Amino acid sequence: MAITGIFYGLPLATLQAMQVQWLACLAGIATAGQSYSIAGRQFTRANLSEVKDMVAELQAAIDRADGTRTTVTYPNFSRGPY
């Protein structure tokens, strides 16, 4: 999954609070499973892959907001002169 930067620009405190909630969601899926049934009805929790991607997005935004994220840009000279 490539980081899209959907959370870039949010305040650091907001990002950290969201990260706590998404990590709790991830822990809930890990300990209780993704689906369960009650009285013959089937219920599904959040998709594990989507939760994992959100946690990665939040971590990238936190790293960017607190200055620990490094961005590397590579020039591409293969197209020739304009």
The pTM (predicted TM-score) of the whole model is: 0.71
If we measure between CA atoms, which residue out of 38, 61, 37, 35 comes closest to residue 48?
Answer: 35
18 — pLDDT class (breaks 50, 70, 90): very high
Report the percent of the chain where pLDDT is more than 70.
Answer: 95
The model's pLDDT over 34-62, given as tens digits with 9 standing for 90+, comes to: 887 888 888 887 888 899 999 999 999 99
Count of CA atoms in the C-beta half-sphere (13 A) of 55: 15
The full set of domain ranges for the chain reads 12-65
